[in-house]
Amino acid sequence: MLRMLVPIVLLIFLVGFSVISDRPQPPADLVFINSSEVNTLDPQRMSWMHDLRTARLLYQGLVQNDVLSDDFSIIPGVAESWNLSDDGVTYTFHLRKDARWSNGEPVTSEDFRYSWRRAMLPDLVSDYVNMFLNIQGAQEFYDWRQTKLEKFSERSFESSADRQEQAYELWIETQSKFDEIVGMQAIDDHTLEITLKHPVPYFLELCAFVVFAPVYEPLVSQYERPDPVTARLIRKPGWTKPKVLISNGPFVLDGWRMKRDMRLEKNTNYWDKDSIAIDSILIPSITDPNAGVLAYQTGALDWISDVTAPYRGDMVAQKLEFLEEHAEQVAEYRAQGLDQFTIDRLLPADPRAHTHAVSSFGTYFYNFNCKPNLPDGQPNPFADARVRRAFAMCVDKKSVADEVRRLGEPTASTLIPPGSIGGYTSPKGLPNIGDASSEDARQEIINKAQELLKDANFPDDFIVSLAFNKDSGHDLIAQAIAKSWQKHLGVKTKLEQNEIKIFRDDLKNKQYMTARAGWFGDYGDPTTFLDINYSTDGNNDRAYDSEIFDSLLDQASRELDQVKRLVLLSEAERIITEEDLPLIPIFHYATIYMFDPHKITGLSTHPRTKQNAYLIDVLDDDRGPNEPKPMRHQSDPILEATSP
């Protein structure tokens, strides 16, 4: 009888534990949608904007951007001050002594050496490894490690135990090699010296990029070990779990329920905690854009970081109507130099004012797979630049921007948004049918495109595949472009829509023919856009490989005269937007936010759109002094309210 009761008691215990562990969470001060499910909380492995947005809450690098200033200037982070040598290659950072990890341990120079070494390893396959290769000896270290790994895989060993032992010895040798040749020296616990291989005018901007933030070595190293077969360092993500992750930013990870929500609490050991106005943040996983808007309208959310609902064009139109109704006041406030969000706050409360369209430091484009062969092994017509130019010329970009997007976004003939970087002159870019001044000019462009296809021996009856992910209106853009290619080039296009994870994997593995893409600049220099086309860059999803383009970027990296340097970079952009066309720039982004300007402060109107949620303050609602704050910020009710 007793043995029969044991399974029943165990079942009751498990059910009870599940109920207790899944209780609704307490209210959060700020609730916002982060546009997509977080892929990773390892800063050295990040690439996507929503990951980086989350990372800025958890980690802090040596310096940071003042996102609420007009010039996006560099301000102290973990480093309270720094010096630059006269030759422009050696930075000495002085770390603040009150910078702490969330467990109370001090943040030291060695933490940065360890973290940046992780990013430099070919084992990690970091999308941003090239940024770290500006450091003296980093390229040599990367190449040395890569060569050692290749030779290791070719060696024969007496036994598996011997192979494993040699893998560990190579890892020890790798750490010693880094100490020997890479220009990163911990002078003491709070003094870090970085020596570059040549002056990098935007190096502090790189240091402000969260990929350069430190991770806690005593924890992270427990989840890393050399693979006994390949000798590559295996990294397991267990250290990024709630209650396990140790970070040094304004917030700590309190909970992460996959496809449900993420909760963060203020880091009581953060050196600047007293400047943070909110104590908790909830990020529900509402991936359906319509559900997100509904959740906001029902009061379940404070901020949507990227509105992608298909009717957002109508939302922007309604906002413009609201501004037109108050045109006189708007003109007066603009004359005073007030920013858009401040103006919205000064105008009468109106739900239409909760939509905010902000110019962004980003470009929407289409990728061409430039490899000689397609994924199925067949010859790739798009390996020929003439074919890529022809297809680029026959995209009606104006129609896409004005009729499909309807957000007031400018069409793009270049990758870098014109005028977004001081002192930089953009090339003209390749003409396209949407920008033609007359029907005759339009037909001339079409004729030229058809001639290019003929000269390149483009195969008859060839069917182009166009890949894109679900949601965000990518399907409507794809349909418009496919229709244009059919009409003007006589080429049929097969639309391939996939879930975001499958789409991303196919993009990284070059398992596509043409594909939608987009890029937001990470720092204020042309290289933040141009580097993604460098032959060895981790973000070169096009497999584009041009000696001329690479050479121009290499020359620019060595040029000390900033004027001459920008000329070289402009020529590099001309190569990819007028001649080689590994991608088709289509429009420059506007980002659409939703928030009540009378309630939310601390968001930036700067086109870099680098929002730091820890700067947000949620203003008190209008209520009596004895009335409690509404209990609306809870995870489960949000999910229930937004369920289909």
Which CATH number belongs to the domain containing residue 283 in this structure? 3.40.190.10
pLDDT on residue 642: 32
The pLDDT tens digits of the residues spanning 74-85 come to: 999 999 999 999
My answer on whether 379 and 498 are in the same domain is: yes
Dihedral sign, CA of 594, 597, 603, 604? positive
The pLDDT tens digits of the residues spanning 255-314 come to: 999 889 999 999 999 999 999 999 999 999 998 999 999 999 999 999 999 998 989 999
Give the helix/strand (H/E) hosting 501.
helix 500-508
Q: Are 115 and 107 in contact (CB under 8 A)?
A: no
My answer on whether 195 and 162 are in the same domain is: yes
Confidence tier at 634 by pLDDT (50, 70, 90): very low
* The pair of three-digit structure tokens given for residue 297, joined into one six-digit string: 């309208």
Residue 434 forms part of a structural domain = yes
**562-574 helix and 547-558 helix, angle to the nearest 10 degrees:** 170
pLDDT on residue 95: 98
Check pLDDT > 60 for residue 331: yes
Domain stop point among 574, 589, 604 = 589
My answer on whether 401 and 481 are in the same domain is: yes
CA distance 579 to 427: 12
My answer on whether 494 and 560 are in the same domain is: yes
Q: Are 33 and 283 in contact (CB under 8 A)?
A: yes
Residue 456 forms part of a structural domain = yes
Residue 215 forms part of a structural domain = yes
Helix, strand, coil share of the chain (percent; to 5):
40, 20, 40
My answer on whether 634 and 577 are in the same domain is: no
Residue 44 forms part of a structural domain = no
How many CB atoms lie under 10 A from the CB of residue 285?
A: 19
Check pLDDT > 90 for residue 325: yes
The pLDDT tens digits of the residues spanning 400-455 come to: 999 999 898 999 999 999 988 878 999 999 999 998 999 999 999 999 999 999 99
Check pLDDT > 60 for residue 14: no
Phi and psi torsions of 359, nearest 5°: -60, 140
- AA letter at 23: R
The pLDDT tens digits of the residues spanning 76-123 come to: 999 999 999 999 999 999 999 999 999 999 999 999 999 999 999 999
- The CATH number linked to 100 is 3.90.76.10
Domain stop point among 174, 201, 236 = 236
Name the 3-class secondary structure at 585: strand
My answer on whether 347 and 447 are in the same domain is: no
Instruction: List 95's β-bridge partners, or say none.
Output: 79
Residue 15 forms part of a structural domain = no
Domain housing 111: 60-236
Q: Are 607 and 589 in contact (CB under 8 A)?
A: no
Q: Are 443 and 449 in contact (CB under 8 A)?
A: no
Residue 96 forms part of a structural domain = yes
Residue 234 vs residues 124, 171, 628: alpha-carbon distances, Å: 8, 11, 50
The pLDDT tens digits of the residues spanning 174-227 come to: 999 999 999 999 999 999 999 999 999 899 999 999 999 999 999 999 999 999
Alpha helices, H only, 135-251: 138-154, 160-181, 203-208, 217-220
- AA letter at 30: L
pLDDT on residue 454: 96
Instruction: List 591's β-bridge partners, or say none.
Output: 358
- The CATH number linked to 388 is 3.10.105.10
My answer on whether 468 and 340 are in the same domain is: no
Q: Name the residue among 346, 381, 82, 22 with its Cα closest to residue 207.
A: 82
Instruction: List 263's β-bridge partners, or say none.
Output: 255, 282
Confidence tier at 621 by pLDDT (50, 70, 90): low
Total structural domains within the chain: 3
The pLDDT tens digits of the residues spanning 362-381 come to: 999 999 999 999 999 999 99
The pLDDT tens digits of the residues spanning 338-360 come to: 999 999 999 999 999 999 999 88
My answer on whether 371 and 331 are in the same domain is: no
CA 59, distance to chain mean position in Å, is: 15
Residue 266 forms part of a structural domain = yes
My answer on whether 286 and 367 are in the same domain is: no
Domain stop point among 184, 209, 236 = 236
* b/e code 487-515 from CB counts within 10 Å (16+ = b): ebbebebeebeeebeebbebbeebbbbbb
Instruction: List 516's β-bridge partners, or say none.
Output: 366
Name the 3-class secondary structure at 465: strand
Sheet with 184-188, edge to edge strand ranges: 79-84, 90-95, 191-195, 184-188
For the chain, state the CA radius of gyration: 26
The pLDDT tens digits of the residues spanning 446-496 come to: 999 999 999 999 999 999 999 999 877 899 999 999 999 999 999 999 999
Give the mean pLDDT of 544-554: 97
Give the helix/strand (H/E) hosting 33.
strand 30-33
My answer on whether 74 and 173 are in the same domain is: yes
CA distance 641 to 644: 9
Check pLDDT > 90 for residue 60: yes
Give the helix/strand (H/E) hosting 358.
strand 355-368
Q: Are 604 and 458 in contact (CB under 8 A)?
A: no
Check pLDDT > 50 for residue 49: yes
My answer on whether 289 and 217 are in the same domain is: no
The proportion of the chain whose per-residue pLDDT surpasses 90, expressed as a percent, equals 79
CA distance 221 to 219: 6
pLDDT on residue 640: 33
My answer on whether 453 and 508 are in the same domain is: yes
Beta-carbon contacts of 283 under 8 Å, excluding residues fewer than 6 positions away, are 31, 32, 33, 34, 54, 261, 262, 263, 264
Q: Are 129 and 538 in contact (CB under 8 A)?
A: yes
Residue 518 forms part of a structural domain = yes
Pairing of strands 355-368, 514-520: antiparallel
CA distance 219 to 247: 10
Residue identified by tokens 């009335």 is 627
- AA letter at 258: M
* The pair of three-digit structure tokens given for residue 144, joined into one six-digit string: 């040395």
CA distance 135 to 138: 5
